[in-house]
Structure 1
Amino acid sequence: MKNIIKNSLGSIHISKEVIAVLAGNAAIESYGLVGMVSRKVSDGIVDLLGKENLGKGVEVKVTEDELIIDLYIAVQYGTKISEVANNVIEKVHYSLKRFLGFAPDKVNVFVQSVRVK
């Protein structure tokens, strides 16, 4: 599995929830991002998640050879959406490589809303 680190002393299994929280914390620091939103959008209503629920705006998919992270975000009105998305991708990729020792294979960003801050 992609989320298992093995060394001479044994192996370390990193849960999807930990990866999701790390990715959410990294993403929230990006310029132009208002916040993370729930990945389950019902009735067209999008609510921003607080700091304690950042992992709920992130979906982590782990297979034998691939780690895919989906981020659901709200961007600030007046910012270039593609730039914000690229910054989020780079920040998440860098942070996970730094903290976990491995980087995700794919980081997908889904912009759910645009907000006036």
Structure 2
Amino acid sequence: MTVKNHSDMGSVSIADDVIANLAGQAAKECYGLVGMAPKHVFAGIGVNKRAEKAAQGIQVNAYGDHSVSLDLHVIMTYGVRIPEVARTVMERVKSAIEDQLGLSVREVNVHVHGLKIPD
């Protein structure tokens, strides 16, 4: 599903992959986040930090009123305060989507799938 915005001059369509990539880039900048996890357990637990796979682990739900909600599936560093890191991720993702795409963000849900323990 894409978000479509109509005006007198024409229309703009934003694909879910664009929204997910932007959210992934914003999330990866947060301290304590190791990377994105697959949305489904059957896909395996692999950590992904590469830029071209930033959308992995992100589900976008678009609504007709030019708003979106996002579900981020993440892996965090062992020893961090999970609620604080999750709050930072939520704030940065919301800010990036609203500032760069002009969409309203209803909610950002962070699902922690694991912790990376240092070697």
TM more than 0.5 = yes
SS at the partner of 1:59? Answer: strand
Higher strand share: 2
* Alignment correspondent of 1:49: 48
In 1, are the aligned partners of 2:2 and 2:16 still within 8 Å (CA)? no
Q: Which runs of 5+ in 2 are unaligned?
A: none
Amino-acid identity (%): 35
* Alignment correspondent of 1:8: 8
In 2, are the aligned partners of 1:49 and 1:57 still within 8 Å (CA)? no
* Alignment correspondent of 1:101: 102
Give the AA of the match of 1:91. R
Counterpart CA distance in 2 for 1:103 and 1:73 is 23
Superposed CA RMSD = 1.9
Written as runs of structure 1 = structure 2, the 5 A alignment for 1:30-109 is 30-42=30-42, 45-51=44-50, 52-65=52-65, 66-109=67-110
Q: Which runs of 5+ in 1 are unaligned?
A: none
Give the AA of the match of 1:107. V
Q: How many residues align?
A: 116
In 2, are the aligned partners of 1:37 and 1:57 still within 8 Å (CA)? yes
* Alignment correspondent of 1:25: 25
CA shift for structure 1 position 4: 2.0
Counterpart CA distance in 1 for 2:19 and 2:95 is 13
In 1, are the aligned partners of 2:34 and 2:49 still within 8 Å (CA)? no
In 2, are the aligned partners of 1:2 and 1:67 still within 8 Å (CA)? no
TM-score, length-normalised on structure 2? 0.88
